[in-house]
Each structure stands twice: as structure tokens, then as C-alpha cells.
Amino acid sequence: MGFVGFTFYHVALNYGEQSVSAGAASFLINTAPVWTILLAAIFLGERLAARGWIGVAISLVGVALIAQGEAQGKSWSAEALLIAAAAIAASVYLVMQKRMLAKYGSLDLVAWATWTGTAWMLVFAPGLGNAVRSAPRDATISLVYLGIFPAAIAYSLWAYAAARLDASRLIGFLYLVPPLSLAISFLWLGEVPQTLSMCGGVVALCGVILANVPLQKWKFKPKSTP
């Protein structure tokens, strides 16, 4: 799990993003829900209802719109295959995690996966000391933030949710990443998203809602009469 979900996933994603536009990378990495649903059906015996498949398809269309809006004429490269491989790795990690949570607690499982994944990355250790000493302060702060929030906290919360939800349902929430990224980049960095990207964010959000909100929530309940 550590090698697949941390080492391979992050190395493949970072190398791929060096030449693939952010929009295209967003589309490729968010094919992970589709792979997870397929793997969960094969190895976990999970089945997604027709409404769930429709929600996944709608969200995928939304992510594609975001990718098109953010690509801005940039072409894809062979490194796009690395990002696609990272998406499959994320799906394998989630399915493996789902099977292991029955034996280990969510926090213990994430801790073991994190540290073993880090151990595999020791092949990049030569020159690390010089790189840390010469790195700008902002870059160091950013790395500390990435280690605490998107890694330690987010992975722990994800494992906690995975212990309580089907993998095929849980993975659908990843479709919220592109629209949330657009919103955060606008508020934090002042980046104004393309109109097509904003439309894609709305579509992706609608797909997640359709796939995860129970139908009972949408039913009109008349008031009872005395």
C-alpha cells in the first residue's frame, strides 16, 4: 500500500505534471473513480446502482470541461500516461485499504502506509541535504504544509471514511477536487478561471450530489393532517 499509494502515485504524478497542463492532469487523475468502481466490483464485490453510474458520468464530463477550459491550447505529452498510471495506483490503494481496514485501525494503517511509502523514496536521498539548505523559505513552508494537511490529515480522514463507506461511493467525492481547486486558486492566488471551467465545476458537483445523496432527500413529503 505504501509503495502503490504514496511512492508510485506521487512520483508518477509529479513527473507527469512537469509537461502536462494542469487542466489535462486534472482530467486524467480524476479518472480514478471509474477505475475504483471497476476494481471494487471485481475484488470487493461492490455494485454501483444505475444512478451512481450516471452521477459518475456527469462528473467526468464536468472534469473534462475543466480540463478543456484550463488547457489553453497546451498539448498533451507522453507523460500523460504517467498521470493515468497514478490514477490507477490511487484506485488500487483505496481497494487495498478497504480490505485492510477490517484488520487494522484507520490511523495505524495510514501511518504504516505513509512511512513505508517514504522508505521507498529514500532512493532520492542523495543531495537532499543540500536541496533543503538552498531551498527558498516559501518553498520549505509549502512542503511542510503539504506534509501536514494534504498528506497526514487528509489521508487519515480518508481512511476513517473508507472504513464506513463503500469504496465505489467514497471515491466519487474526488470529483470535488477540480472545482474546489478552481475556487481556492481564485480566492488565494487571484487566478480567474475560464467560463468553461466554472461550468465544468458546476457539472462535476451536480454529478457528485446525484451519485451520493439518497433519493429520499429529493422526495416531497406532504404535511401530516391531524
pLDDT in tens, 179-189: 777 778 778 77
Domain membership of residue 167 (yes or no) is yes
Domain count, the chain: 1
Q: What average pLDDT does range 183-206 have in this prediction?
A: 76
pLDDT at 75: 55
Q: What is the 3-state secondary structure (H, E, C) of 106-162?
A: HHHHHHHHHHHHHHHHHHHCCCHHHHHHHCCHHHHHHHHHHHHHHHHHHHHHHHHHH
Rg (CA), the chain: 19
Q: Which of 63-72, 83-92, 182-191 has the lowest mean pLDDT?
A: 63-72
Count of residues in the chain = 226
Place of cell 481496514: 101
Domain membership of residue 125 (yes or no) is no
Domain membership of residue 111 (yes or no) is yes
Domain membership of residue 56 (yes or no) is yes
At residue 10's C-alpha, the angle toward residues 6 and 140, to 5°, is 105
pLDDT at 12: 93
Domain membership of residue 108 (yes or no) is yes
pLDDT at 184: 80
> Greater confidence, 119 or 213?
119
pTM for this model (two decimals): 0.72
For residue 45, the 8-state DSSP code is -
- Domain ranges, residue 158: 2-119+132-213
Domain membership of residue 160 (yes or no) is yes
Contacts of 37-46 with CB under 8 Å at 24 or more apart are 37/168, 37/171, 39/91, 39/92, 39/95, 39/167, 40/95, 40/98, 40/166, 40/167, 40/168, 41/168, 43/95, 43/99, 44/95, 44/98, 44/99, 44/166, 44/167, 46/166, 46/167, 46/168
Of 122, 158, 124, 140, nearest in space to 5 by CA: 158
Q: What average pLDDT does range 101-112 have in this prediction?
A: 86
Place of cell 467526468: 60
Q: Whole-angstrom Cα distance, residue 126 to residue 137?
A: 21
pLDDT in tens, 140-165: 998 899 889 988 898 888 888 888 88
Domain membership of residue 15 (yes or no) is yes
Domain membership of residue 124 (yes or no) is no
Q: Where are the alpha helices (DSSP H) in 4-79?
A: 9-17, 22-29, 32-39, 50-71
pLDDT at 136: 92
Distance linking the first and last C-alpha atoms of the chain: 58
